[in-house]
Amino acid sequence: MKTKREFAPVDEQLAYLRKGVAEIIPEPELKAKLEQSAKTGTPLRAYLGVDPTAPDLHLGHTVVLRKLKHFQDLGHTAVFLIGDFSAMIGDPTGVSETRPPLTREQVDANARTYLEQVYKILDREKTEVRYNSEWLGKMSAEEIVRLCSHYRLARMLEREDFRSRLDRNLPISVHELLYPLLTAYDAVSLHSDVELGATEQKFNLLVHREIQREYGLPGQAILTMPILVGLDGQRKMSKSYGNYIGITEAPREMFGKLMSISDELMWSYYELLTDFTERVILRLKDEVRTGVLHPMEAKMQLAHYIIANFHGEDAGRAARDEFQRVFRERQAPDEAPERRIPRGEPRRLVAVLVETGLAPSRSEAERLIKQGGVEIDGARIADIKQEIDCSQPATHLLRAGKKKFLRLVIE
């Protein structure tokens, strides 16, 4: 009962899809699929599988999501696959050790929060959401054995993750070998035409394609996106490295973090996290190079753009203004988290810092003060025995380190 759809010319589609992509395997095949789709008026099924291993998505995840959205923009079917089953195995990709499998409860909770976040990018109405427990959870031992028979151990061990662990005498659990095979069954079940993933997923995606053919289906085309480098400018953005920007983070946090990336890294963020065209980005680059545009200005524009994407234009502008005021003009932040404490005896600053969460321990708080990282109402405190007068109502602005502010209200 599908109505025949109209699609943009294939070359136009390809150009749009190619933007920012690392690799298309094989490109002629994708092109053929697009042509076929245009001819029959049938949208392609493009999918992205994500394991809900953490409660929140970060910008790194959005790189591929954006690409999936591009398929959606072109009228194809975007399938967002939640790997609720596979998450319990854990993807061995890029991992140097077996990780503990997640429990059903953790996975479910994560899956719920994922979806809400995903809709900040994908069109809620047009997205097909699937869970791989739908089919993987129902597989019989027999079916699993059959699935496994379609792949060879030597091929499996070709992959870098396993190879290097083997070489370094690190453990590899057998269930990890199952990961690419079970997720391949996703591709089989979904009848996908295209699968998206980060470059590090290439091995998995290729296995998926192969297994599809083993099951008598046309192999899907593969489209990989570059890895987004994290805030440290070195490693991929990842929660476990702590170098990430979560998409649910407050605009101000996001802004600060984005501004802390290096000028060099900024360009890859432009490339992978905005919809600016290649041409526009090149022009910006050129303006910075020739001194027409200050790099900081370019970075603020980037931060503003990204935040507006997730939180709306007003939030983007507000974050930018706030940043200007606090860090460039060194004024008090517009709003800081507030903490109320009752009136009473004078309190040790050290104790207050710990209580309010500005420092994790007294030792740490003491260190912070000694190193000149603590200010009360703009005045640096050097005395670790400093006390705060709590005898009458007052409000103080505490600053601990570069970024932590807190408004202390004595009631």
Partner RNA sequence: GGACGGGUGGGUGAGUGGCUAAAACCAGCAGACUGUAAAUCUGCCGCUCCUUGCGAGCUACGGAGGUUCGAAUCCUCCCCCGUCCA
Residues within the interface to RNA (CB under 7 A): 166, 169-172, 232-233, 242-243, 255-264, 295-296, 299, 323, 327-328, 354, 360-364, 366-368, 371-373, 384-385, 401-404
Q: Which is nearer to RNA, 196 or 227 (CB)?
A: 227
Instruction: Name the DSSP class of 274.
Output: S
Nearest approach, Cβ of residue 221 and RNA (Å): 36
In the complex, what is the shortest distance from the CB of residue 243 to RNA, in angstroms, rounded to a whole number? Answer: 7
Residue 128 Rama label (left phi>0; alpha psi -120 to 50; beta): beta
Instruction: Find residue 234's DSSP bridge partners.
Output: none
C-beta separation of 84 from 111 below 8 A: yes
Residue 179 beta carbon to RNA: minimum distance, rounded to whole angstroms: 16
Q: How far is the CB of 105 from RNA (least distance, A)?
A: 24
Give Cβ neighbours of residue 286 (< 8 Å, ≥ 6 apart).
none
Question: 35 or 232, CB closer to RNA?
Answer: 232
Residue in this structure with the two tokens 């019989």, named with its chain if needed: 140
Compute the chain's Rg from CA coordinates.
25
Least Å distance, CB 202 to RNA, is: 25
Which residue reads 């400093």 in tokens? 386
Closer to RNA by Cβ: residue 190 or 261: 261
| The two three-digit tokens of residue 77, written as one number | 């079917």
- Closer of 9 and 233 to RNA (Cβ): 233
User: Which residue lies nearer to RNA by CB, 215 or 327?
Assistant: 327
List the structure tokens of 394.
């007052």
CB of 176 to RNA, least distance (A): 11
Least distance to RNA from the beta carbon of 369, Å?
9
Which of 209, 404 has the CB closer to RNA?
404
Asked whether the beta carbons of 88 and 137 are under 8 A apart, the reply is no
Does residue 368 contact residue 353 with C-beta atoms inside 8 Å? Answer: yes
Quote the DSSP letter at residue 328: I
Determine phi and psi for 322, rounding to 5 degrees: -60, -45
Cβ at position 18, least distance to RNA in Å = 30
**In terms of C-beta density within 10 A (0-12 exposed, 13-18 middle, 19 or more buried), how is residue 222 classed?**
buried
Closest CB to RNA among 90 and 256?
A: 256
Q: Give, as one character, the DSSP assignment of residue 332.
A: P
- Cβ proximity to RNA: between 199 and 260 the closer is 260
Spatial contact of 22 and 218, defined as CB atoms under 8 Å apart: no
Query: Residue 405 half-sphere exposure, CB side, CA atoms within 13 Å?
Result: 19
